[in-house]
Amino acid sequence: MKPEYLQQIPIAQKGGQIKELTKGFSSDKKYVIDDQYLLRLFPKKDKQERQIEYDTISRLNELSAYVPKTFEFGTLDSADMSYMILSYLPGQDGEVALKDITQIEQYDAGFLAGKELKKLHHLNAPEGTPNWYNHKKHKSDSYLKRLKNVPLDEHIKSLLKNYIRLHEHLLIERPNTFQHDDFHPANLLIHERTLSGIIDFQRMDWGDPIHDLTKLGFFSVKASVPFTIGIVDGYHDDIGGVTDSFWELYTLYSAMHIVSALVWGGPLGIYEKMLRYSLDVIVDHDEFSQLVPKWYID
């Protein structure tokens, strides 16, 4: 039985088959309509920022066919909800699907994901977007301050703080472009053994495009090392290969991400998991004496 508020949305009203989606961390209510449309509903109070997300997705679809198309944005006043309707992209998320394809297929899918992400980074930030150095350094300083209260070995705290302080100058004059800000296998779809879509733009932001690759060593390698290597290689395909300057920024952002993950891990009840992942990244970079992570070169 369709929820009553769906009767107020023409596409849903006409839809023959409507299935609710419950997977994922988003608080949106999500429905698939006739395997063609994805309906996302959210509180009306979030309408303004979600309109920006919707408009950005529309512009990103012009850059990559792996981004959903946009169809409708509206409000259900009676339900105090707003909604967007996007095209429904087929496939399973990479965390589930990658284990069922070969390592060569994993690499190829990652390579394509990296190439498509690079296309999305051609979308420049709106005029008036804060300077990346000031924005990122302010957040990093705040997290480093809060790291003092995290029950973590003092050697690791010093290691992270010293590395970040020594290299944060790399943030100066970095470009401001679109950031997906949650780019990892759970938000990348696999269908018929290859990449079929990039989804979940709710955390989108603006800043250094390289920052979008921050979570590769944290989450993506856990799903598939070949896929993760493919992302890095595909992202750099148009310039002939991975550069040292990329790894310098990537490693700095990895250190910063560890700090934020450990700070937030406690309140979210996942500190032990974040600590394990963080220690893996530290080992991969040989306590930040090595720029290129072991998973890429081994």
In the structure encoding, which two tokens stand for residue 109, read together?
A: 């899918």
pLDDT digits (tens, 9 = 90+) for 225-282: 999 999 999 999 999 999 999 999 999 999 999 999 999 999 999 999 999 999 999 9
Q: Using pLDDT thresholds of 50, 70 and 90, give the confidence band for residue 16.
A: confident
Residues 257, 34: Cα–Cα separation, whole Å: 39
Neighbour count for residue 33 (Cβ, 10 Å) = 21
- Terminal-to-terminal C-alpha distance of the chain: 53
pLDDT digits (tens, 9 = 90+) for 215-231: 999 999 999 999 999 99
Within 8 A by CB and 6+ apart from 36, the residues are 87, 88
pLDDT mean over 117-137: 97
pLDDT at 1 over 70: no
What CATH fold (topology level) applies to the domain 92-297?
Answer: Aminoglycoside 3'-phosphotransferase; Chain: A, domain 2 (3.90.1200)
pLDDT at 97 over 70: yes
pLDDT mean over 196-206: 96
pLDDT digits (tens, 9 = 90+) for 167-186: 999 999 999 999 999 999 99
Domain range 4-87, CATH architecture: 2-Layer Sandwich (3.30)
- For the chain, give the percent of residues with pLDDT over 70: 99
pLDDT at 2: 67
pLDDT digits (tens, 9 = 90+) for 59-92: 999 999 999 999 999 999 888 999 999 999 999 9
* Side chain identity at residue 23, one-letter code: K
> If you average pLDDT over every residue of the chain, what do you get?
95
pLDDT at 234: 98
For the chain, what are the domain ranges?
4-87, 92-297
Within 8 A by CB and 6+ apart from 70, the residues are 54, 57, 58, 61, 84, 85, 86
pTM over 0.85: yes
Q: Is the dihedral of CA 296, 106, 111, 122 positive or negative?
A: negative
- Please report where in the chains the tokens 């297929």 appear, as a residue: 105
DSSP assigned state of 35:
T
With b for 16 or more beta-carbon neighbours within 10 A and e for fewer, the 271-289 pattern comes to beebbebbebbbebbeebe
Which residue from 82, 52, 60 is spatially nearest to 202, judged by alpha carbons? 52
Neighbour count for residue 227 (Cβ, 10 Å) = 28
pLDDT at 191: 98
